Amino acid sequence: MSVFKRSAFALAIAAALAVTACKKTDEPKTVTAEDLKTDAQKFGYAIGVDLAKSLKPVKDDVDIKSLEAGLDAVFAGGEPVLDDATREQIKNTVAEKLQKKQMEERTATASKAKTEGEAFLAENAKKAGVKTTASGLQYEVLTEGSGAAPKATDTVTVHYKGTLINGETFDSSYDRGQPVSFPLQNVIPGWTEGLQLMKPGAKYKFVIPSALAYGERGAGAKIGPNSTLVFEVELLSLGEPKPAAAAAPEAKK
């Protein structure tokens, strides 16, 4: 959320926090838990930590001396030298600049991820045992199963581990110690297609192009735009969701 959309109360505290954090000293003040004795001190510190995190992305666009002057004018009961319309205009101008910068950074990130993903897929396709479907989904049979393969309209129960192409794990039912159950048609296309290749008891490795995963929008903080994803999936069973099963990977939209 943009800092400019916060309440007046939050903005005031954030501004005061910025002044305190950047006050005319090169060294930040060290505070220990023992220094925070009263509720007011603890409350102030808690708010300070939260709002420092929200203010950090725009700290380079804030002139601290001017910020302090604005605080002093209001606290002293004086009249701000910038009227309401002017203040609103500059906040909007800076907000637009920041949004443009974020969009440019996201575009660059998406372009890089697409290039790296395509290179990863090309190299992976050369590995023994890796097969590529018409859609571009790549899969490798780690353990074969038996019985009937699921249809897109079926519900399945699986264990899985999801990683980025750099090996970083972003999700794992194994780590949670709990398999997941979900209607197969309600997940990302790569899962819907890939699980239909499996039979109960099978374990496959999938490399899913971004177009069959979360595409340009990405998902959450860990899966960026145009991310190629790697999954190891174990198909446990077909049928209705198990009562204790956790939520499935995000449904396609």
Residue 242 predicted with pLDDT over 60: no
Mean pLDDT, rounded, of the chain = 84
The domain containing residue 184 runs over which residues?
128-238
> Where is pLDDT greater, at 50 or 2?
50
Greatest Cα-to-Cα distance within the chain, rounded to the nearest angstrom: 79
Q: Could you list the active site residues?
A: 160, 170-171, 188, 214, 231
Residue 246 included in any domain: no
Helices 39-55, 8-22: inter-axial angle, 10-degree rounding: 90
Residue 102 included in any domain: no
pLDDT tens digits for 82-100? 999 999 999 899 889 988 9
* Predicted local confidence at residue 60, as pLDDT: 82
Residue 24 included in any domain: yes
pLDDT tens digits for 109-125? 899 999 999 999 999 99
- Averaged over 38-42, what is the pLDDT? 92
Same domain (yes/no): 75, 162: no
pTM above 0.75, yes or no: no
Domain containing residue 160: CATH number: 3.10.50.40
Residue 102 predicted with pLDDT over 90: no
Sequence length of the chain is 253
Indicate the residue type of 58: V
pLDDT tens digits for 75-85? 788 888 999 99
